[in-house]
């Protein structure tokens, strides 16, 4: 009998162990697994003797809980809160909350930190060597705690710490394109997190975990609703629900924002107009804003999509974007709120290159916006394509703060089934030189406000978060959420450093795992460009749902078709945007215009974005354009196959659950990369009239086969 009991006990212990070790990705990069290097673990345990957080605000309580949870997980031993000062203690607090911090004489260092910066410092207090985590405000202390834990998670030295970290931007915001019915536009990770039906009474634990994850990477704002806005969110029935979410997020340093439907005065207020200069409309928005602030005292303000893709706006009434933005800005100004007015505007009735329209509409308005308005500009002039040049608005509106809008959700980059690390895309844009104030006038310096000395600045990321257990659909898509937060805090960080940290925190610190997976991530965006839109091709995806290739799309309004953008014919391919064509290059500063216009300097990865070239144009490789296009498509497919091979080598180095999930998704990616290659080559070949180069795989099916494929209920559509 005893032996049977022992067997059963052993069985249940084993079962429990397996269940504990099972991974569904829900812990993101905050796993706090025990330090794997025995010597380093021993060193950390010797260095850290305990912790003490001084201050009892909700934010400080969160910081204390995080520090305790993190240290005990990482060090696999109790690390207790102690009252007596002793060597190796972690002391966290602000000068206001902590007499010990005040005694450390850090006043000079604290001066430049603002409300969110923090200090990590090895110093002496009462003759004891201690670690200090301090800031001017409690939120800064929380950020500092996450940074300290990240050092241990990534197995960095904590000897002689002297780190001062201040965000380079004031607004670091996630834009949720979530609808009130819980569907998510361009969302590929399930339904919306926001359970409007059960709010405000039921507060899901997920809301705190969401806030915690964002705080760990410095995100300080969230726009809860779709830019294709629903006015109902401004009703009291919903405002009380929004207030419940704001109450959860507030201790984590996160403010709530809402999308404002411009026609709300008509839809909710029963007015006859939404004209921004109409006194009744102005009064309605003022009253509505006062009501919102009664529910949410720290409400951040409004995000607005107006006069774009059918959304109502001030131009419906013959008014300008400045008229519309300023009306809302005046309403939120007394409460410290802001307005983020999107520059994503285009009109198929305008007989001009779509890439030029935002510049044409907004540049004449520079200097006419209120000082609490930011113009939110997508990274490129079309629409989150796998590769675009930087948007010409960056640097063209020196009197107006411009806010970057990146897309984290992979609308044009394989949804949540393709492994595409987006930090290189973000970095490519941020490092682009606008030349507006001479060499070195990078996009990063425009959006952080330093180029024109703006006091408000920021980045927005169209989020990829849903209610999937791993948050983002693809385990590696978590890296894009993480990378956005890190780059929003510091737009000058490198993609490789961010990837390295994320891998170590999410999977493993083993060099044999980290180095090749980091390289795979860093190359993944270029791989995707190659099998989707090489050499500057763009906007050739499937119609409506944007799933898969669709270079043949030629229906409805011209600027929603693929043929509008690639302009393939018997003579060649590409969109001529130099002075010989649409003149879009002229919207950039003169050195940039010259750089893109000159075929000898235009980067080949943007060649067909700016030039229409003959099929036999000679590339730098020596190949003619048609052959190079085929080689690029094939190289993309081959790169995915190498990704599969590399990932297969990692079996046994991480948990089996996530290994198998990524393996399966890479299989999908390989199949769809081949689909992209074959469909696009089959389509463009009818114009080039040339054979696929010797040694390259030919399309598996006829062009009609690819054109006749149909897809139903595609996610995010």
Cα 700 to Cα 240: distance, rounded to the nearest angstrom: 56
Once rounded to an integer, what is the mean pLDDT over residues 16-28? 68
**pLDDT category, 662, cuts 50, 70, 90?**
very high
Residue given tokens 């109902």 in the structure block: 232
Are 384 and 411 contacting, i.e. CB atoms less than 8 angstroms apart? yes
pLDDT surpassing 70 at residue 521: yes
Q: Specify which residues 123 forms β-bridges with.
A: 130
| β-bridge pairing 613-614 and 572-573 | antiparallel
Three-class SS state of 655: coil
Nearest to 406 by CA among 374, 434, 385, 379: 379
Strand partners, 541: 549
Q: Is residue 470 left, alpha or beta, with left meaning phi > 0 and alpha meaning psi from -120 to 50?
A: alpha
Q: What is the pLDDT of residues 459-480, one digit of tens each?
A: 999 999 999 999 999 999 999 9
Long-range contacts of 430-434 (CB under 8 A, 24+ apart): 430/404, 430/487, 430/491, 430/492, 432/389, 432/390, 432/394, 433/592, 434/390, 434/394, 434/395, 434/588, 434/589, 434/592
- The DSSP element (H or E) to which 256 belongs, if any, is strand 255-259
411 is a catalytic site residue: yes
- Listed in sequence order, the residues at least 6 apart from 254 whose beta carbon sits closer than 8 Å to its beta carbon are 211, 214, 215, 219, 220, 221, 222
Which of the residue ranges 99-108, 510-519, 605-614 would you say has the lowest mean pLDDT?
99-108
With a threshold of 0.75, does the pTM exceed it?
A: yes
DSSP-assigned letters across all residues of 76-142: TS---B-SS--TTEEEEE-TTT-HHHHHT--HHHHHTTTTT-EEEEEEEETTEEEEEEE-SSHHHHH
Taking the alpha carbons of 631, 632, 633, 638 in that order, is the dihedral positive or negative?
Answer: positive
Is 352 annotated as catalytic? no
Residue 616 pLDDT > 50, yes or no? Answer: yes
CA distance 635 to 629: 10
Render the burial of 655-690: b for 16+ CB within 10 Å, e for the rest: beebbebbeebbeebbebbbbbbbbbbbbbbebbeb
Q: Given CA atoms 521, 522, 525, 528 in this order, what sign does their dihedral have?
A: negative
Closest CA to 358 of 387, 388, 328, 333: 388
Contact between 407 and 421 (Cβ < 8 Å): no
pLDDT in tens, 391-407: 999 999 999 999 999 99
Q: Is 618 helix (H, G, I), strand (E, B) or coil?
A: strand
Question: What's the pLDDT at 14?
Answer: 38
Q: How many CB atoms lie within 10 A of CB 281?
A: 22
The catalytically annotated residue of 116, 353, 388, 411 is 411
- Cis check for the bond before 71: say yes or no (omega within 30 of 0): no
Q: Over range 695-700, report the average pLDDT.
A: 97
Which residue in 222, 224, 229, 170 sits closest to 374, CA to CA? 170
What are the backbone dihedrals phi and psi of residue 164, each rounded to the nearest 5 degrees, phi first?
A: -115, 120
Give me the chain's average pLDDT, please: 96
**81-138 per-position pLDDT tens digit:** 888 899 999 999 999 999 999 999 899 999 999 999 999 999 999 999 999 999 999 9
- Burial state string for 567-591 with b = 16 or more CB within 10 A and e = fewer than 16: bbeeebbbbbbbeebbbbbebbbee
Structure tokens at 37: 């290097």
List all residues 6 or more positions away from 383 whose beta carbon is below 8 Å from its beta carbon: 344, 412, 539
Ordered by where they begin, the domains of the chain are 25-165 (3.30.379.10), 171-496 (3.20.20.80), 530-575+612-707 (3.90.1330.10)
Residue 636 phi/psi, 5-degree rounding, is -65, -45
Burial class (CB in 10 A: 0-12, 13-18, 19+), 431: middle
Give the angle 159-162-164 at the CA atoms, nearest 5°.
145
User: Which has more pLDDT, 22 or 223?
Assistant: 223
Query: Which residues are paired to 396 by β-bridges?
Result: none
Q: Above 80 in pLDDT, residue 318?
A: yes
Name the active-site residue from 291, 383, 655, 657: 383
Residue 414, pLDDT above cutoff 70: yes
State yes or no: is 388 an active-site residue. no
Distances (CA, A) of 474 to 199, 420, 445: 28, 10, 32
Do residues 217 and 169 touch, judged by C-beta distance below 8 A?
A: no
Q: Could you read off the pLDDT of 251-274 as tens digits, one per residue?
A: 999 999 999 999 999 999 999 999
Give me the pLDDT at residue 11, please. Answer: 42
pLDDT level of residue 194 (50, 70, 90 thresholds): very high
Contacts of 134 (CB under 8 A, 6+ apart): 92, 93, 94, 95, 98, 101, 104, 106, 110, 118, 119, 121, 140, 141, 144
Q: At 21, is the pLDDT very low, low, confident or very high (cuts 50, 70, 90)?
A: low
Catalytic residue among 162, 280, 290, 309: 309
Per-residue pLDDT averaged across 65-69, rounded?
97
């Amino acid at each position: 009998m005893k032996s049977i009991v022992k067997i059963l006990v052993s069985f249940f212990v084993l079962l429990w162990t397996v269940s504990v070790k099972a991974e569904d990705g829900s812990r993101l990069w905050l796993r706090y697994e025990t330090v794997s290097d025995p010597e380093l673990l021993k060193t950390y345990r010797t260095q850290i003797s305990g912790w003490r957080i001084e201050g009892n605000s909700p934010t400080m309580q969160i910081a204390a809980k995080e520090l305790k949870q993190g240290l005990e997980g990482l060090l696999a031993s109790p690390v207790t809160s102690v009252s007596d000062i002793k060597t190796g203690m972690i002391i966290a607090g602000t000068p206001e909350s902590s007499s010990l911090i005040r005694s450390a004489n850090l006043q000079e260092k604290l001066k430049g930190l603002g409300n969110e910066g923090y200090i990590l410092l090895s110093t002496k207090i009462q003759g004891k060597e201690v670690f200090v985590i301090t800031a001017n405000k409690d939120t800064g202390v929380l950020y500092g705690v996450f940074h300290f834990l990240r050092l241990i998670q990534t197995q960095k030295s904590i000897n002689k710490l002297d780190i001062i970290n201040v965000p380079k931007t004031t607004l670091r915001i996630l834009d949720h394109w979530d609808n009130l019915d819980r569907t998510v536009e361009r969302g590929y990770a399930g339904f919306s997190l926001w359970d409007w039906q059960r709010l405000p009474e039921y507060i899901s634990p997920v809301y705190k975990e969401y806030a915690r994850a964002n705080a760990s990477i410095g995100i300080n704002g969230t726009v809860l609703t779709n830019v294709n806005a629903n006015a109902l969110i401004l009703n009291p029935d919903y405002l009380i629900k929004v207030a419940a979410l704001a109450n959860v997020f507030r201790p984590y340093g996160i403010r709530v924002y809402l999308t404002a439907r411009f026609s709300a005065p008509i839809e909710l207020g029963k007015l006859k107009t939404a004209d921004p200069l109409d006194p009744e409309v102005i009064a309605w928005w003022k009253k509505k804003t006062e009501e919102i602030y009664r529910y949410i005292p720290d409400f951040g303000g409004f995000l607005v999509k107006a006069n774009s893709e059918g959304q109502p706006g001030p131009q419906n009434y013959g008014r300008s974007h400045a008229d519309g933005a300023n009306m809302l800005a005046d309403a939120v100004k007394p409460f410290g709120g802001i307005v983020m007015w999107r520059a994503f505007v285009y009109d198929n009735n305008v007989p001009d290159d779509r890439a030029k329209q935002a510049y044409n509409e907004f540049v004449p308005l520079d200097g006419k916006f209120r000082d609490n308005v930011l113009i939110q500009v997508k990274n490129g002039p079309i629409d989150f394509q796998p590769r675009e040049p930087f948007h010409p608005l960056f640097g063209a509106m020196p009197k107006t703060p411009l806010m970057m809008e990146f897309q984290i959700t992979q609308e044009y980059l394989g949804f949540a089934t393709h492994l595409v690390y987006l930090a290189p895309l973000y970095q490519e844009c941020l490092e682009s030189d606008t030349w507006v104030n001479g060499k070195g006038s990078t996009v990063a310096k425009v959006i952080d406000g330093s180029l024109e000395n703006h006091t408000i600045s920021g980045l927005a990321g169209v989020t990829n978060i849903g209610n999937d257990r791993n948050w983002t659909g693809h385990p590696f898509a978590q890296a894009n959420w993480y990378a956005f937060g890190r780059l929003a805090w510091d737009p000058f960080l490198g993609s490789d450093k961010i990837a390295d940290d994320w891998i170590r925190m999410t999977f493993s610190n083993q060099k044999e795992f980290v180095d090749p997976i980091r390289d795979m991530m860093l190359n993944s965006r270029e791989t995707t460009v190659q099998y989707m839109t090489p050499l500057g091709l763009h906007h050739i995806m499937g119609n409506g749902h944007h799933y898969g290739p669709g270079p043949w799309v030629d229906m409805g309004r011209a600027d929603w078709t693929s043929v509008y953008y690639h302009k393939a014919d018997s003579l060649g391919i590409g969109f001529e945007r130099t002075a010989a064509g649409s003149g879009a290059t002229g919207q950039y500063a003169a050195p940039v215009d010259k750089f893109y216009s000159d075929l000898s300097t235009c980067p080949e990865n943007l060649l067909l974005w700016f030039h229409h070239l003959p099929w036999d144009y000679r590339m730098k490789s020596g190949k003619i354009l048609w052959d190079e296009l085929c080689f690029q498509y094939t190289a993309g497919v081959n790169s995915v196959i190498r990704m599969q091979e590399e990932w297969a080598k990692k079996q046994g180095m991480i948990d089996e659950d996530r290994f198998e999930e990524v393996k399966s998704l890479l299989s999908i990616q390989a199949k769809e990369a081949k689909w992209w290659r074959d469909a696009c080559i089959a389509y463009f070949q009818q114009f080039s009239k040339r054979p696929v180069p010797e040694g390259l795989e030919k399309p598996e099916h006829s062009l009609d086969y690819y054109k006749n494929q149909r897809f139903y209920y595609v996610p995010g559509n």
